[in-house]
């Protein structure tokens, strides 16, 4: 049997990062088994459709580097891939179940059902539309066929409900959770089809998974409660059910409770892969796609070994659904930053320099070769591409202030004079390169019979504005003789 999996989002807004993790696990499973990864757009709930959401989904998958083999944009032999274009198929299947006595028309109005719900609540019970009470309700199981036909002809609003069986212990299998047993008496007669001509999620999802020859349904844990009904639908249609795997929830960074959009707002991290309206995405926040992918792959899956760094190719070979955990996966933003730091170190200086040139207005005219050199000097300390520039702007402009604590500690009475002497020596230096600069400073301190630090720290302060950054000799060589001496003079003026 060929492995075919699908990612089936509803385009009701931007894809949540948890949705992207579901897509990734489907993709990896498909690739591991030389199967197909299908993107099916579940857009039957017309009232919740959001303009641009479908495109967003496709863009997010492309950004992560996990393009579908079949999708609305990339057709295969199992389309259409948008449920709104498959309405006739669902209607035909709903009718088939009605004709076979496995589903029925229900004409109960919302008011009638609300009243029944309230009545049950008043008695401390829960109203469930099923075998317990369907005989007394307004549906085609009770009405004569003439009466049912008349209501349908008169366009009386109706829904088609599934006739859920009584007294059965349903044995459901999940690849991650094992066997789950459900008492069918707890199930209600779920709505499959509405009189507006649209199916509900359950009918459309099962019919499509069958017709699209989906072998494994891998989806979020929030769909576990639908599993019993889906099993019953496969049985009613006399189809073989696919295998199911329900992925663990993504938990808040603190570890308790489901990750929500608000957690991102509170914790200052994105929850959407790409920006959407006011919300900044992972991409725009400076997370690299390979870092995000590596991080997502380990949210709920591990090989049981120390390894944490995985390339996409490795994941395609090693991902195994049997090693997906049941328990929720903590969304640890610090870990994500750690991955980002790692992948920034892996990225070539040339590509980082090109990105900086394109994204930082102040660098748009900078020389690429020297940008590349700059990146090589500072990236070791950085976890975000933008920070490579924003944390190290002193490579391009004089510091606008000095760290007051450092000033107090490092500037002694004789410092301005010492700096002035050094500036004169630097002026005379012909070859303004790192090694020569280092020798120059060392011999100057020897002449003056002082420790290197007496001069080095003030020089750093003059160049950077704080006691941080890479080697001062590299900084001086980068900014050149004129700027270096100018910055030293600036500090002399500031302190004398």
**Catalytic machinery residues:** 261
223 in contact with ligand GLU (CB under 6 A):
yes
Contact 396, 488 (CB under 8 A): no
Nearer Cβ to ligand GLU, position 23 or 472? 23
CA torsion sign for 134, 140, 143, 144 is: negative
**Extended beta strands in 308-431, E state:** 329-330
379 in contact with ligand GLU (CB under 6 A):
no
Q: How big is the site for ligand GLU, counted in residues (CB under 6 A)?
A: 8
Closest approach, Cβ 34 to ligand GLU, in A, equals 22
Which tokens belong to 103? 């589903």
Residues between 48 and 107 with contacts to ligand GLU, criterion CB under 6 A:
none
The contact pattern for ligand GLU, residues 13-52, with x = CB under 6 A and - = no contact, is -----------------------------x----------
Residues between 265 and 324 with contacts to ligand GLU, criterion CB under 6 A:
none
Q: Maximum CA pair distance of the chain?
A: 113
Nearer Cβ to ligand GLU, position 208 or 382? 208
Contact window for ligand GLU (CB under 6 A) among 7-15, 182-190, 400-408, 426-434: 7-15
Nearer Cβ to ligand GLU, position 42 or 263? 42
Contact window for ligand GLU (CB under 6 A) among 6-14, 46-54, 134-142, 162-170: 6-14
Quote the radius of gyration of the chain (alpha carbons, Å): 33
CA torsion sign for 409, 410, 415, 416 is: negative
Contact window for ligand GLU (CB under 6 A) among 3-11, 152-160, 287-295, 373-381: 3-11
Closest approach, Cβ 461 to ligand GLU, in A, equals 56
Strand order across the beta sheet in which 103-106 lies: 103-106, 159-162, 191-194
Nearer Cβ to ligand GLU, position 223 or 384? 223
Length of the chain counted residue by residue: 496
End-to-end CA distance of the chain: 82
Distance, CA of 366 to CA of 387 (rounded, Å): 17
Closest approach, Cβ 201 to ligand GLU, in A, equals 6
The contact pattern for ligand GLU, residues 189-208, with x = CB under 6 A and - = no contact, is ------------x---x---
9 in contact with ligand GLU (CB under 6 A):
yes
Distance, CA of 251 to CA of 327 (rounded, Å): 10
Contact 384, 344 (CB under 8 A): yes
Nearer Cβ to ligand GLU, position 58 or 462? 58
Torsion of CA 359, 364, 368, 372, to 10 degrees: -40
Closest approach, Cβ 220 to ligand GLU, in A, equals 7
State yes or no: cis peptide before 233, omega within 30 of 0. Answer: no
Question: Would you put residue 386 in left (φ > 0), alpha (ψ -120 to 50) or beta?
Answer: alpha
Single residue of 4, 5, 10, 269 touching ligand GLU by CB under 6 A:
10
Distance, CA of 333 to CA of 259 (rounded, Å): 12
Which residues contact ligand GLU by CB under 6 A?
Answer: 8-10, 42, 201, 205, 219, 223
């Amino acid at each position: 049997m060929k492995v075919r999996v699908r990612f089936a989002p509803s385009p009701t807004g931007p894809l949540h990062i948890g949705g992207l993790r579901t897509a990734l696990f489907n993709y990896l499973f498909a690739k591991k088994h030389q199967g197909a990864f299908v993107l099916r757009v579940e857009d039957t709930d017309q009232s919740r459709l959001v303009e641009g959401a479908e495109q967003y989904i496709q863009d997010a998958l492309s950004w992560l580097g996990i393009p579908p083999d079949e999708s609305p944009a990339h057709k295969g032999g199992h389309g259409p891939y948008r449920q709104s274009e498959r309405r006739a198929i669902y209607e035909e299947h709903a009718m088939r179940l009605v004709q076979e006595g496995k589903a029925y028309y229900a004409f109960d109005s919302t008011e009638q059902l609300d009243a029944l719900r309230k009545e049950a609540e008043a008695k401390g019970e829960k109203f469930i539309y099923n075998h317990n009470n369907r005989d007394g309700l307004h549906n085609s199981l009770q009405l004569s066929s003439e009466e049912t036909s008349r209501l349908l002809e008169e366009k009386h609003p109706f829904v088609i409900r599934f006739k859920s069986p009584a007294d059965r212990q349903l044995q459901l299998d999940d690849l991650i959770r094992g066997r789950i047993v459900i008492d069918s008496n707890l199930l209600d007669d779920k709505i499959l089809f509405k009189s507006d001509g649209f199916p509900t999620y359950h009918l459309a999802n099962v019919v499509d998974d069958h017709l699209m020859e989906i072998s494994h349904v891998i989806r979020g844990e929030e769909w576990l409660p639908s599993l019993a009904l889906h099993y019953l639908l496969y049985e009613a249609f006399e189809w073989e059910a696919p295998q199911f795997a329900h992925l663990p929830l993504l938990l808040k960074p603190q570890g308790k409770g489901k990750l929500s959009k608000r957690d991102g707002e509170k914790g200052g991290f994105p929850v959407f892969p790409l920006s959407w309206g006011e919300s900044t995405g992972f991409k725009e926040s400076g997370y690299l796609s390979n870092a995000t992918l590596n991080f997502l792959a380990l949210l709920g899956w591990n090989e049981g070994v120390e390894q944490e760094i995985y390339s996409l190719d490795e994941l395609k070979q090693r991902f195994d659904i049997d090693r997906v955990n049941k328990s929720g996966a903590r969304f640890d933003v610090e870990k994500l930053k750690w991955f980002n730091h790692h992948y920034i170190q892996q990225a070539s200086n040339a590509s980082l320099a090109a990105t900086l040139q394109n994204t930082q207005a102040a660098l748009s005219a900078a020389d690429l070769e020297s940008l590349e050199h700059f990146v090589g000097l500072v990236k070791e300390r950085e976890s975000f591409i933008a920070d490579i520039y924003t944390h190290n702007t002193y490579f391009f402009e004089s510091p606008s202030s000095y760290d007051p604590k450092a000033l107090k500690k490092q500037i002694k009475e004789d410092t301005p004079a010492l700096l002035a002497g050094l500036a004169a020596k630097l002026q005379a230096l012909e070859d303004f390169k790192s090694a020569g600069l280092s020798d120059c400073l060392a011999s100057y301190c020897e002449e003056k019979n002082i420790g290197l630090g007496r001069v080095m720290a003030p020089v750093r302060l003059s160049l950077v504005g704080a006691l941080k950054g890479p080697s001062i000799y590299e900084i001086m060589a980068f900014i050149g003789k004129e700027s270096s001496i100018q910055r030293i003079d600036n500090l002399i003026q500031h302190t004398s």
